[in-house]
Amino acid sequence: MVNLEVIQKNLCEAIKTSSLSKKEIAERLGVNPSTISRYLHNGTFPAIDTFANLCEILDVSADDILGLKK
């Protein structure tokens, strides 16, 4: 089952292992850097198109971020 805490943990890990800063990710997404922090800590989930772009930027699958590994 999908859980927001798992998503936040997986997203944090993907950002840590990427070569990009949160600021660079925000610039590529066209959002404010504080928006990235909200995705990681405040229980905010990005719009589906933003989520897809975020996965592409981080070079991770949506399944990995959502915790749907089988």
Query: Measuring CA to CA, which residue among 5, 64, 68 is closest to residue 39?
Result: 5
φ, ψ at 18 (rounded to 5°) = -80, 165
pLDDT of residue 14: 96
pLDDT band at 51 (very low <50, low <70, confident <90, very high): very high
pLDDT of residue 70: 61
pLDDT tens digit sequence for 16-48: 999 999 999 999 999 999 999 999 998 889 999
Task: Give me the domains of the chain, ranges plus CATH numbers.
Answer: 4-66 (1.10.260.40)
pLDDT of residue 3: 87
